[in-house]
Structure 1
Amino acid sequence: MSGTVGRVPTPSAPSSGAPTGPGAAASGAADPSALRWADTPLGAPEQWDPAVRAVVDLVLASPVPMALLYGDDLILVYNEGYAELIGARHPGALGRPAAEVFADIWHEPGAGEVIERAYRRGEPFLEREAVLPVDRHQTGPTEPAMFTRGFSPVRDSAGRTIGVLSVAAQTTQVTRQLQSLSDFAAALSGTLTLDDVARVTLRYGLDAFGADRVSFGVDEGPAWRMVRRVRGELLDEADERLPPLWRRIPADSPVPMVVTARSGVALFTADGQPLRNSPADRHDQKIRSLAALPLRSSVVRGAVTVGYQAPHPWSPSERALLAAAAELAGQAAERARRFETQHGTAQLLQRSMLPERLPDLPRLRIAARYDPGVDGNAAGGDFYDAFVLPSGALGVVLGDVAGHDVQAAARMGQVRAALRALALTDPRPDAVLAGLDRLVASLGTESGTQELFVTVVFGVIEADQERITLASAGHPAPLIRRCRADGEPTAEYVEVLPGPPLGLGYRPRTTAVPFRPGDTLLLYSDGVVERRWQDLFAGLTGLRAAVTGASSGDPRALCAVATAAVPGATEDDVAVLAVEHAVRPSRSASMAVPAEPTAPSRVRHWMTAQLTEWRVPEAVIGGAVLCTSELTTNALLHAGTAARVEIDLSAERLLVSVADSGTRGQVTRAQTDALSSRGRGLGLIEELSDAWGTDPTVRGSTVWFEILIPPSPGS
């Protein structure tokens, strides 16, 4: 592959449930699902990239002829429908380059060039009517076959094009719907959660069928949850990325979606009132024709419905197309349910080993952030900690235990606990790391491996002495943001002798540097600055520039700035810890927010009174109260649980955070679009605040924003 496509890397994600089959090699397989994957360029299923596995699952499960043309050589992997389409070329075509399989027609117009263009340029292509003599190599004369074909590029988890998904039909059915099905399959291959699957399915139903109402529902223990889309809803581009707003439905509900999901039998109403027994609103009351199709999955029960406000005869071809779409949605929902289960377990393990709360000190403000790597489906070894020492000083640490599995997380927990115990006994950074070095060496001997790779930086902050003492074992150098006398901030890396990673006979050395009021210390893992195909120096330079240009030295804002400082995706976990030596102590207050409709109003009154008492400028109060009201509504809407609002006022800025205790996972930038005003929230926060971000926590998520305090006249 040339250009930005690049050669497909060796896959690393696990792939439970992928078809492996005991069949013979590609040249002798009679059933596509029996292909011996290890004999093909894709390799063993357990090594596949998650996106590759998703596409293969879609192809093999679909009743519509589909093929994946994989990698530089466009290796063919296809289903039984496609096998029937290519006739005698099967089974020899499985696992072979498409140019070899179709050598006699590959260079003809509309043949190989179409597929290669979709692959090289990453552009979808629809071929409405193609005459391809696919059976030319057979004995005797053959009639040219008429095809409608759709080609969509397939990308891996890192966004690289790794193949082309081909959907073909020897038919004269509407080509737009065929192309839409191909695009639908490609879109589903990139979904991870049930929210993703629902969003893609709803959009497909509205666009491909011109429907007036589409719904998607899945089982939720003793009940069901459903989400729908109605034609004409005012949704902008940001709304399309929103997590769907699910509603719960009783297990015995007469809603057609529930009836079909329970029975596994499709229902078609050409004209009537299919939703008359359970209309949610006037939109449901207007529906006269409805198709309800079950999600055929062994893990998830559910259904998809498509409805119109006018009578609509459901033709056989349309029913078949809907059945294929429901089949694809069911496979995607099954993968999503498994991912969510694994992801939730892994992230709960990861976050339970990190401190739930950081110390609250009058002159030292502390914040931290942890983001999982690209996969996000496994626990990692990055960790941070901050704790008060017996002397009153603050101990801070950030480290990285190599690996992205439960064992790495367990090792991380051992190292973190041991470091705190050592520091509470003897807080000297060199003594602490020397003790950790012996521990890691012992763990390596105990496990019979020398591959325990642990880096860590540990520091002791003495605010009264305006000093930090640091020691590092193979970890990236800490960064300090300083406020110069002229008011212009600057950032500098601390020259700490890193030494080798722990467990290799570390001989620690300490470095002491000034830490004056107005300074902020930033510790970070290598996932912040390292990017594939990029020099490490460029990442370090980008981080330093971003921290220097930050609107303030507030630690929470700097954590957000640091994680976004270097462009490009990282496959590693990211951990950041920031500590600010405040010029003056800040004032703080908090309020518990019950999960009640009147809660946002109560928050507005409380916050207005508190900020007025603190003599905050009226312009800041107005913007802060409005943003807080939006974030509070968002927390109650999405988490459905009580929340907590915290405000922290310093001479330079007002920091407000809204934390929920929900279990829906990390609140993302897209989710904040779904604030109470449905679409205005994100623009409002960005317009009225100087910085904002989201932080996942052990039990929920925190959304925060910062507004700078303008200097008073004469200051």
Structure 2
Amino acid sequence: MPGTVGRVPTPAGPVPGARAPGDAGMVGRHQWSGTRLGPPEYWDLAVRAAAEIVLASRAPMALHLGDEFLLLYNDAYAELIGDKHPQALGQPAPQVFAEVWPMPGIGDIVEHTYRTGEPFLEREVTLPLRPDAGQLDQAVYVRACSPVRDSRGRIVGVLSVVTETNPATRQLQGLSDFAAALSGTLTLDDVARVALRYAITSFDADRVSFAVDDGGGWRLARRVRGELVDEADERLPPLWRRGPADWPAPAVVSARSGRASYTNDGEPLREIAADRHDQRIQALAAVPLRAAAVRGALTVGYRSPHTWSAPERALLAASAELVGQATERARRFETQHGTAQLLQRSMLPENLPGLPRLRIAARYDPGVDGNAAGGDFYDAFVLPTGDLGVVLGDVAGHDVQAAARMGQVRAALRALALGDPRPDQVLIGLDRLVSSLGAEAGTHELFVTVAFGVIDIDRELLTLASAGHPAPLLRRCSSGGEPRAEYVEVPAGAPLGVGYRPATCTVAFPPGDTLLLFSDGVVERRRQGLSHGLARLAESVAAAHSGDPRALCAAATAAVPGATEDDVAVLAVEYALRPSRSARMEVPAEPTAPSRVRHWMTAQLTEWRVAESVIGAAVLCTSELTTNALLHAGTAARVEIDLSPERLLVSVADSGSRGTVTRARTDTLSSRGRGLGLIEELSDAWGTDPTVRGSTVWFEILTPPQ
């Protein structure tokens, strides 16, 4: 039968020659006389011998003594329980670990061994000894419990030995999470972000890198311990360094040879060091990706000597294999995606007309897949009468054939409008074309929804016709009143190709108003009614800071939360209260470009007598966007500024997604994430727009009244 502390036989005085258990730091120096155990020299000899073993061991050990399971443990165990030490010494274990002791497999194991004397061994167990630790910090242990007997053979406690398993064993358990994260990546940028984040966390490394071949050269992304990586950084592409085909970087050497290399102590990055982070690395493992269609490698490095164990090498090889598979998928996706999207956007207008009083902007986003060309299209063009024709439509289908038909429909609509701009007559002629194309293809499933309108600037009127398309939205902005959004009550009718009947609607379109045409991908979501999406869109448009068309396009595409499988197209036209002033600058891909942009923009806005507070914020934001465009696109950029009495709009456009940027140093631009944070803080609205070739990032700052 187990005995309590009081039943541990103690002599009337100290045992001759007895001494306290071996001093093991703070544990050995603890004042046991103030606990129920009493001074160690009065303990039973067998109990004192067990305490000697515990305190002398380097493995985490603890004694649970008596019916209350009073704790005595060594320094290794103290590190294990964190801030519970030293208060836990001599205290009941159920009280110290009150939050976890009742859990199955925790306190009941100790109690069972104490009652029955049966030893216990569990090879892999997650012990929540530090409940404040996150899920990634929960280690895996081997735990053993054995009964502790006194000199008379009675059970007076339990010896608990807890040994953390090899770190590589824990890391292997994270491979499934890593594989799941990689399965959601689409591009090489995504793969690099996930791989670097996993490698630096799982291996507790000081520096990790990911290298991949880039058609005659190499590009490499890295992360170092302690660098600032926030949510904004995760939205940006990684910082890629580029090198030639014979680049001596260990990652590239491993990728070219297909063999892993391990440096235990040395200067493995001396030849390619970009900064002190590279120079301080002494141990480095470089493992090839083992992919069939792409070459690359993953590296893990430490600032101190490190011996690469067999489990670590196995984990590195498994990780590199997962990254290799994801890299191949990403390379195929980028190739297919680029072809499909280039086809799609080559059929859309590359430039929208610029008119003194009408500001126009459009946005097109692919659906969830993003890999197939779609049938959404938009257009805006000046008619022979001087009016502006605007159109947005959707050809059924999400394949290359749908994109080709979209190009036919868009070209035919413009040709018909240039001959007779009346919206109903344009759609009648277009209906004949669609019916003819359907008969030619031998299908009755070819149909098109479209909304076409004509803006008469002089008469301040908007005439619309719709064939099965969502009703356009008008943002009304009367002087002195709050902006409001209302849908135009235009008869929708049937889509083209399935029995369109002509009908038009004419409404007032005075200065200050903005017209918004959109595809159904903007408002339709699974398990949500269409009315909900339409209401959310109207609310977002009415609540926008201004009627600027670019800002409204961004607000419209983000109005309804949730992913859509359909393409998204938006076209906005603002009838400005007064003409705006605009200027542009072509920015070469060279290190001095951001500085030149800052000087040019400061001079231009000062000449326009913009408030100094607006100039300062705008110049800072533009400098950040220009630097990012040159770094990530690698091509020349274009900066455009447009000033109206209500706001300043600045856009920075690049013309590609790959390339080489000539820079004085490759490790600069440390403010990437903070730069976007500044733009969010200093501007009233900002966003990104894909273009035919490249992308555009813009921001808007409302100007104070003069």
Normalising to structure 1: TM-score of the pair?
0.74
Residues 523-542 of structure 1 mapped to structure 2, 5 A cutoff: 523-542=517-536
In the alignment, structure 1 residue 273 sits paired with structure 2 residue 267 = yes
Whether the aligned pair in 2 keeps the contact of 1:675 and 1:681 (CA below 8 Å) is no
Aligned partner of 2:181 in structure 1 is 187
Whether the aligned pair in 1 keeps the contact of 2:231 and 2:673 (CA below 8 Å) is no
Q: What is the rounded CA distance, in whole Å, between the counterparts of 2:331 and 2:283 in structure 1?
A: 30
In the alignment, structure 1 residue 263 sits paired with structure 2 residue 263 = no
Whether the aligned pair in 2 keeps the contact of 1:201 and 1:329 (CA below 8 Å) is yes
Whether the aligned pair in 1 keeps the contact of 2:475 and 2:485 (CA below 8 Å) is yes
Aligned partner of 2:323 in structure 1 is 329
Q: What is the rounded CA distance, in whole Å, between the counterparts of 1:257 and 1:691 in structure 2?
A: 41
The structure with more radius of gyration: 2
Q: What is the rounded CA distance, in whole Å, between the counterparts of 1:318 and 1:571 in structure 2?
A: 41
**CA drift at 1:678:** 2.8
In the alignment, structure 1 residue 399 sits paired with structure 2 residue 405 = no
In the alignment, structure 1 residue 634 sits paired with structure 2 residue 612 = no
Q: What is the rounded CA distance, in whole Å, between the counterparts of 2:291 and 2:679 in structure 1?
A: 41
How many aligned residue pairs are there? 545
Whether the aligned pair in 1 keeps the contact of 2:587 and 2:636 (CA below 8 Å) is yes
**CA drift at 1:174:** 4.5
Report the 3-state secondary structure (helix = DSSP H, G, I; strand = E; otherwise coil) of the residue aligned with 1:679: helix
In the alignment, structure 1 residue 301 sits paired with structure 2 residue 295 = yes
Q: Give the letter for the 1:681 counterpart.
A: G
Whether the aligned pair in 2 keeps the contact of 1:205 and 1:306 (CA below 8 Å) is yes
Report the 3-state secondary structure (helix = DSSP H, G, I; strand = E; otherwise coil) of the residue aligned with 2:527: coil
**CA drift at 1:127:** 10
Q: Give the letter for the 2:407 counterpart.
A: G
- Among 494, 510, 519, the residue aligned to 2:504: 510
In the alignment, structure 1 residue 417 sits paired with structure 2 residue 411 = yes
Q: State the Cα deviation string for residues 322-377 of structure 1 (Å, max 9, x = none).
A: 11111111001000100111111111111111100000001111110001111111
In the alignment, structure 1 residue 699 sits paired with structure 2 residue 661 = no
**CA drift at 1:676:** 6.0
- Among 449, 455, 471, the residue aligned to 2:465: 471
Residues 316-715 of structure 1 mapped to structure 2, 5 A cutoff: 316-664=310-658, 677-712=671-706
**CA drift at 1:396:** 0.3
**CA drift at 1:511:** 0.8
Q: Structure 1 residues 550 and 173 mapped into 2: Cα distance closer, same or farther (>3 Å)? A: closer
Q: Structure 1 residues 304 and 375 mapped into 2: Cα distance closer, same or farther (>3 Å)? A: same
**CA drift at 1:207:** 1.0
Whether the aligned pair in 1 keeps the contact of 2:657 and 2:694 (CA below 8 Å) is yes
Q: Give the letter for the 1:525 counterpart.
A: S
Q: What is the rounded CA distance, in whole Å, between the counterparts of 1:310 and 1:127 in structure 2?
A: 23
Q: Give the letter for the 1:523 counterpart.
A: L
Unaligned runs of 5+ in 2: 1-121, 127-134, 144-164, 660-667
Q: Give the letter for the 1:385 counterpart.
A: D
In the alignment, structure 1 residue 216 sits paired with structure 2 residue 193 = no
Q: What is the rounded CA distance, in whole Å, between the counterparts of 1:609 and 1:254 in structure 2?
A: 45
Report the 3-state secondary structure (helix = DSSP H, G, I; strand = E; otherwise coil) of the residue aligned with 2:489: coil
Q: What is the rounded CA distance, in whole Å, between the counterparts of 1:626 and 1:516 in structure 2?
A: 35
Report the 3-state secondary structure (helix = DSSP H, G, I; strand = E; otherwise coil) of the residue aligned with 1:260: helix
Q: Structure 1 residues 173 and 346 mapped into 2: Cα distance closer, same or farther (>3 Å)? A: same
**CA drift at 1:659:** 1.0
Report the 3-state secondary structure (helix = DSSP H, G, I; strand = E; otherwise coil) of the residue aligned with 1:330: helix
Q: What is the rounded CA distance, in whole Å, between the counterparts of 1:677 and 1:484 in structure 2?
A: 41
Whether the aligned pair in 2 keeps the contact of 1:126 and 1:179 (CA below 8 Å) is no
Whether the aligned pair in 1 keeps the contact of 2:628 and 2:672 (CA below 8 Å) is no
Aligned partner of 1:87 in structure 2 is none
Whether the aligned pair in 1 keeps the contact of 2:634 and 2:658 (CA below 8 Å) is no
Say which is worse superposed, 561-570 or 284-293, in terms of deviation.
284-293
Q: Give the letter for the 2:515 counterpart.
A: L
Whether the aligned pair in 2 keeps the contact of 1:397 and 1:456 (CA below 8 Å) is yes
Q: Give the letter for the 1:448 counterpart.
A: G
Report the 3-state secondary structure (helix = DSSP H, G, I; strand = E; otherwise coil) of the residue aligned with 1:356: coil
Q: State the Cα deviation string for residues 443-465 of structure 1 (Å, max 9, x = none).
A: 11111111113100000111001
**CA drift at 1:688:** 1.5
**CA drift at 1:691:** 1.1
Aligned partner of 1:198 in structure 2 is 192
Q: Structure 1 residues 514 and 247 mapped into 2: Cα distance closer, same or farther (>3 Å)? A: same
Q: What is the rounded CA distance, in whole Å, between the counterparts of 2:683 and 2:545 in structure 1?
A: 11
Q: What is the rounded CA distance, in whole Å, between the counterparts of 2:509 and 2:475 in structure 1?
A: 10
Q: Structure 1 residues 172 and 701 mapped into 2: Cα distance closer, same or farther (>3 Å)? A: closer
**CA drift at 1:240:** 3.9
Q: What is the rounded CA distance, in whole Å, between the counterparts of 1:685 and 1:277 in structure 2?
A: 37
Report the 3-state secondary structure (helix = DSSP H, G, I; strand = E; otherwise coil) of the residue aligned with 1:322: helix
Q: What is the rounded CA distance, in whole Å, between the counterparts of 1:172 and 1:561 in structure 2?
A: 51
**CA drift at 1:657:** 1.0
Whether the aligned pair in 2 keeps the contact of 1:267 and 1:293 (CA below 8 Å) is yes
Q: Structure 1 residues 460 and 508 mapped into 2: Cα distance closer, same or farther (>3 Å)? A: same
Identity %: 79
Report the 3-state secondary structure (helix = DSSP H, G, I; strand = E; otherwise coil) of the residue aligned with 2:335: helix
Whether the aligned pair in 1 keeps the contact of 2:374 and 2:397 (CA below 8 Å) is yes
Q: What is the rounded CA distance, in whole Å, between the counterparts of 1:495 and 1:219 in structure 2?
A: 55
What is the root-mean-square deviation of aligned Cα atoms in Å? 2.2
Q: Structure 1 residues 241 and 605 mapped into 2: Cα distance closer, same or farther (>3 Å)? A: closer
Residues 243-258 of structure 1 mapped to structure 2, 5 A cutoff: 243-258=237-252
Q: What is the rounded CA distance, in whole Å, between the counterparts of 2:483 and 2:675 in structure 1?
A: 31
Report the 3-state secondary structure (helix = DSSP H, G, I; strand = E; otherwise coil) of the residue aligned with 1:397: strand
Q: Give the letter for the 1:528 counterpart.
A: V
**CA drift at 1:643:** 1.1
Whether the aligned pair in 1 keeps the contact of 2:376 and 2:568 (CA below 8 Å) is yes
Report the 3-state secondary structure (helix = DSSP H, G, I; strand = E; otherwise coil) of the residue aligned with 2:174: helix
Q: State the Cα deviation string for residues 422-458 of structure 1 (Å, max 9, x = none).
A: 1111111111100111111111111111111310000
Q: What is the rounded CA distance, in whole Å, between the counterparts of 1:233 and 1:342 in structure 2?
A: 34
Q: Structure 1 residues 704 and 676 mapped into 2: Cα distance closer, same or farther (>3 Å)? A: farther
Aligned partner of 2:105 in structure 1 is none
Residues 162-181 of structure 1 mapped to structure 2, 5 A cutoff: 174-181=168-175
Q: Structure 1 residues 173 and 213 mapped into 2: Cα distance closer, same or farther (>3 Å)? A: closer
Aligned partner of 1:20 in structure 2 is none
Q: What is the rounded CA distance, in whole Å, between the counterparts of 2:166 and 2:607 in structure 1?
A: 73
Q: Give the letter for the 2:398 counterpart.
A: H
Q: Give the letter for the 1:625 counterpart.
A: V
Q: Structure 1 residues 546 and 675 mapped into 2: Cα distance closer, same or farther (>3 Å)? A: farther
Aligned partner of 2:80 in structure 1 is none
Q: What is the rounded CA distance, in whole Å, between the counterparts of 2:347 and 2:177 in structure 1?
A: 41
Normalising to structure 2: TM-score of the pair?
0.74
Q: Structure 1 residues 589 and 479 mapped into 2: Cα distance closer, same or farther (>3 Å)? A: same
In the alignment, structure 1 residue 289 sits paired with structure 2 residue 294 = no
**CA drift at 1:282:** 2.6
Q: What is the rounded CA distance, in whole Å, between the counterparts of 2:677 and 2:218 in structure 1?
A: 34
Q: Give the letter for the 2:691 counterpart.
A: T
Q: Structure 1 residues 176 and 436 mapped into 2: Cα distance closer, same or farther (>3 Å)? A: same
Unaligned runs of 5+ in 1: 1-109, 115-122, 132-170, 666-673
Q: Structure 1 residues 495 and 425 mapped into 2: Cα distance closer, same or farther (>3 Å)? A: same
Q: What is the rounded CA distance, in whole Å, between the counterparts of 2:551 and 2:466 in structure 1?
A: 25
- Among 227, 237, 241, the residue aligned to 2:221: 227
Q: Structure 1 residues 356 and 485 mapped into 2: Cα distance closer, same or farther (>3 Å)? A: same
Report the 3-state secondary structure (helix = DSSP H, G, I; strand = E; otherwise coil) of the residue aligned with 1:502: coil
Q: What is the rounded CA distance, in whole Å, between the counterparts of 1:701 and 1:345 in structure 2?
A: 16
